[in-house]
Structure 1
Amino acid sequence: MRVCSGWRRRLYCLPFVLFIPYFLSVLELHQSSTIEGSQKKHSKKFDHLVLGPAAGQGLHDRLQCQGTKALNKTHIATSSHESNFGESIALITVFTIYNSSLALHADGRSSDLVTVGNASYSKMERSMAILNVFINFIQATMPQSNVIILTDPASEFSLHRDRVTIYPIQGEYSRDKLMLQRIRSYIVFLETKLEEHSQGHGHINHYIFTDSDIAVVDDLGQIFQSHPNFHVALTFRNNKEQPLNSGFIAVRGTPDGILRAKLFLQEVLKVYSSRFMNASRMLGDQLALAWVVKSHPYFDTKRFSKPQAFLEDIGGTSVLFLPCAIYNWTPPEGAGQFHGMPLDVKVVHFKGSRKRLMLESWNFFISSSDISDMLCLILMSGRTKYDF
Structure 2
Amino acid sequence: MKICNGWRRFLLCLPLVFLLPHIFSVLELHQTSTLEDLHKKQIKKFDHLVLGPAAGEGLHDRLQCQGIKALNKTHFSASTDNSNYGENIAFVTVFTTYDSSIDRAIGGKSRDLVTVGKISYNKLERSMAILNVFINFIQVTMPQSNIIILTDPASKLPVHRSRVAIYPIQGEYSRDKLMLQRIRSYIAFLETRLEEHSQRQGHLNHYIFTDSDVAVIDDLGQIFKNYPNFDLAFTFRNNKEQPLNSGFIAVRGTPDGIRRGKVFLQEVLKVYRSKYIKASRMLGDQLALAWVVKSYPSFDAKRFTRPQAFLEEIGSASVLFLPCAIYNWTPPEGAGQFHGMTLDVKVVHFKGSRKRLMLESWNFLNSSSSSDVSDMLCLILKSGRTKYDF
**Count of residue pairs the alignment pairs up:** 388
CA change 1:188–1:310 in 2 (3 A) is same
| In 2: Cα distance, 1:104 partner to 1:170 partner | 27
Q: CA deviation at 1:155?
A: 1.2
Q: CA deviation at 1:64?
A: 1.6
| In 2: Cα distance, 1:66 partner to 1:12 partner | 64
Q: Does 1:148 align with 2:142?
A: no
Are 2:324 and 2:335, in contact at CA under 8 Å, matched by a contact in 1? no
- Which one-letter code corresponds to 1:211 in the other structure? D
Paired residue for 2:299? 299
Q: CA deviation at 1:124?
A: 0.6
Q: CA deviation at 1:166?
A: 0.3
Paired residue for 1:321? 321
Paired residue for 2:388? 386
CA change 1:45–1:92 in 2 (3 A) is same
Paired residue for 1:362? 362
Q: CA deviation at 1:320?
A: 0.1
Are 1:81 and 1:89, in contact at CA under 8 Å, matched by a contact in 2? no
TM-score, normalised by the number of residues in structure 1? 0.97
Q: CA deviation at 1:104?
A: 5.1
| In 1: Cα distance, 2:137 partner to 2:200 partner | 33
SS at match of 1:89: strand
| In 1: Cα distance, 2:281 partner to 2:210 partner | 17
1:372-383 matches, cutoff 5 A? 372-383=374-385
Paired residue for 1:41? 41
Are 2:269 and 2:288, in contact at CA under 8 Å, matched by a contact in 1? yes
Are 1:142 and 1:219, in contact at CA under 8 Å, matched by a contact in 2? yes
- Which one-letter code corresponds to 1:347 in the other structure? V
- Which one-letter code corresponds to 1:90 in the other structure? A
Deviates more, 1:198-207 or 1:52-61: 198-207
Deviates more, 1:57-66 or 1:173-182: 57-66
Are 2:209 and 2:248, in contact at CA under 8 Å, matched by a contact in 1? yes
| In 1: Cα distance, 2:82 partner to 2:200 partner | 23
Are 1:102 and 1:110, in contact at CA under 8 Å, matched by a contact in 2? no
SS at match of 2:282: coil
Q: CA deviation at 1:204?
A: 1.1
Deviates more, 1:340-349 or 1:95-104: 95-104
Q: Give CA deviations for 1:88-119 in whole Å, capped at 9, x if unaligned.
A: 00001100001131345654121211000011
- Which one-letter code corresponds to 2:28 in the other structure? E
1:254-293 matches, cutoff 5 A? 254-293=254-293
Unaligned runs of 5+ in 2: none
- Which one-letter code corresponds to 2:379 in the other structure? L
Unaligned runs of 5+ in 1: none
Calculate the aligned-residue CA RMSD, in Å: 1.5
Deviates more, 1:329-338 or 1:4-13: 4-13
Q: Does 1:59 align with 2:59?
A: yes
Q: CA deviation at 1:335?
A: 5.5
| In 1: Cα distance, 2:20 partner to 2:335 partner | 45
| In 2: Cα distance, 1:12 partner to 1:221 partner | 84
Are 1:187 and 1:266, in contact at CA under 8 Å, matched by a contact in 2? yes
Deviates more, 1:278-287 or 1:73-82: 73-82
Paired residue for 1:212? 212
Paired residue for 2:248? 248
CA change 1:298–1:272 in 2 (3 A) is same
Are 2:100 and 2:123, in contact at CA under 8 Å, matched by a contact in 1? no
Deviates more, 1:312-321 or 1:149-158: 149-158
1:164-243 matches, cutoff 5 A? 164-199=164-199, 201=201, 203-243=203-243
Deviates more, 1:32-41 or 1:201-210: 201-210
TM-score, normalised by the number of residues in structure 2? 0.96
SS at match of 1:102: helix
Q: CA deviation at 1:84?
A: 4.5
Off by >6 Å, runs of 4+ in structure 1? none
Paired residue for 2:333? 333
Q: Give CA deviations for 1:19-67 in whole Å, capped at 9, x if unaligned.
A: 1121111111101000000001111111111111222122221112121
Paired residue for 1:371? 373
| In 2: Cα distance, 1:211 partner to 1:334 partner | 15
- Which one-letter code corresponds to 1:191 in the other structure? E
Are 2:217 and 2:346, in contact at CA under 8 Å, matched by a contact in 1? yes
- Which one-letter code corresponds to 1:375 in the other structure? L
| In 2: Cα distance, 1:213 partner to 1:3 partner | 70
SS at match of 1:92: strand
CA change 1:323–1:168 in 2 (3 A) is same
Deviates more, 1:13-22 or 1:173-182: 13-22
